Amino acid sequence: MSSGNNIESEYLSLSSKNGWELLYQQIRTESAKYSNTCLEAIKPQNKTLNRYRDVSPFDHSRIILQRGSTDYINANLIKIENANRQYILTQGPLPNTIAHFWLMVWEQNTKAVLMLNKLVEKQQEKCCQYWPIKIGTDYIMKLDDVGLTLEYLEQQDHSYYLTRVLRLTDVKSGESRDILQFHYTTWPDFGVPNSPTAFLEFLRKVQAAGVLESTVGPAIVHCSAGIGRSGTFCLVDSCLILIEKFGLNSVIVKEVLLEMRRYRMGLIQTPEQLKFSYQAIIEGAKQLSKTSFDSENCNSVISEIIEANNVSENSNHSSDEDEPPPLPPPRLDSLNRTLYDGPPVNRPLPTIPNSASISDFNYEDIDSIEELQSPPSGPLPVLPGEDEESSTDELEDESVRTSSPVSDKSDTVNGHHESLSPQAELRQRKRIERKEHLAERVRDMKRRQMANEQWTQLKRPKTARRD
């Protein structure tokens, strides 16, 4: 892709002109023209079910509950058709809406809840605890209003976010479902994460769980009001899916956000959240490009080595100057990096997203030749059925090999048996060694290509101060 892609160029332009506030106000003005009503939210019986008076669900996209004492919940279904994504954005549950929340999870066949806030922020309750206080059957939460029970099964701590497994059971049918909860604990109210890197690592974990796919019910995303942090998450995820499907130049972030605001009001609450969304999208797109670049170049280098091998086999004579240096295999950085499962590096948030992205964001001009011609920085992991090979043997100096003793050889010229000259014998010996060397390169590259392909298959199998 060219360096003048829309998102990066727009980001740099907005940052140089301090234009984030202006862009944010433009989005607010345009979305205010939508003729959507919120009549259900303002009904007297529903007012106490809203956390904030000025954050209401649009009538046309609100989630309608099918059983229980009310059909109302402050939640909307957001659809991004081109990305084949659907999300339910909702407020942090209130004490009197916990049962409604879990009924929505059950009826929508949701597989995961994404919680992007803490229970208490700035000494104010932003969300009540809507899951049992402890793990175990002694602490099962009974939701008699809607005929459900909830059991807390397990929790894992991932430094800056938590994952929980909760078992939701329908009392009448006896059917149970395990629900994943991803709880991002370090995203400040009205703020942004410390770095796009940590946020994208969280997003990748959610995506890898398969809970955002169209084959399951829509994931439920909430913060406090369900518009700021929740909107940021959904915007970045949707844009990265669109970039992967249609290319970077096809995505206009502003248009995607305006489309999302047709389903729920006020998504993304501050210019800082909007700016961070651009940073995360640019960084995420670079990571997508790097993965694709590694795979494509693995195939390209194999073709070049095979072609060089064929040329060598068809050549009867060659001089020292004609000897082409063999290409070493590509680094496959993304494979090594993906296999590392430690905590992400939490870099400070830059003024522009140049932490490993902006400076070399040009997809067509990546310095692939220099990358491919340098030896790998470390050995690749050994896959089943593959033996570890010595990099010293693989890169053995040509002059050492050609200096080893060679059996006597002779040629027949014009019917006379003559010994080869030392120069001719050296060239012949080099041709044989070059063919063997290139053949070994081809075998090695095929093994590395297979490793990359196997890993690729595995990897894919608001006005008021609130949220």
The catalytic residue positions are: 223
User: What span, in angstroms and rounded, lies between the C-alpha atoms of 240 and 214?
Assistant: 16
Q: How far is CA 436 from CA 375, 407, 439, in A?
A: 19, 17, 5
* Whole-number Cα distances in Å, 42 to 47, 48, 58, 73, 345: 6, 10, 11, 12, 45
Phi and psi, residue 382, nearest 5°: -85, 120
The reply to whether 223 sits in an annotated binding site is yes
Give the CB-side neighbour count of residue 256, counting CA atoms within 13 A. Answer: 28
229 annotated as ligand-binding: yes
Whose tokens are 């549950």? That residue is 93
**378 annotated ligand binder:** no
Question: CA quadruple 179, 185, 186, 188: dihedral positive or negative?
Answer: positive
DSSP 386: -
Q: Residue 337, annotated ligand binder?
A: no
Other CB atoms within 10 A of residue 132 CB? 19
Q: Is 366 annotated as a binding residue?
A: no
189 annotated as ligand-binding: yes
Q: Give residue 41's identity as a one-letter amino acid code.
A: A
Closest-CA residue to 20 (of 292, 188, 254): 254
Is residue 92 part of an annotated ligand binding site? no
What Cα–Cα distance (Å) separates residue 112 from each residue in 102, 125, 137, 218? Answer: 11, 23, 21, 8
DSSP per-residue string spanning 258-276:
HHHTTTSTT-S-SHHHHHH
Query: Binding residue per annotation — 45?
Result: no
Type of residue found at 237: D
DSSP symbols for 318-372: --GGG-PPPPPPP--HHHHHHH--SPPP-PPPPSSSTTTTGGG--STT--HHHHH
DSSP bridge pairs for 463: none
Residue 367, annotated ligand binder?
no
Radius of gyration of the CA atoms of the chain, in A: 30
Binding site residues, as ranges?
A: 189, 223-229, 269
Binding site residues for substrate, as ranges?
A: 189, 223-229, 269
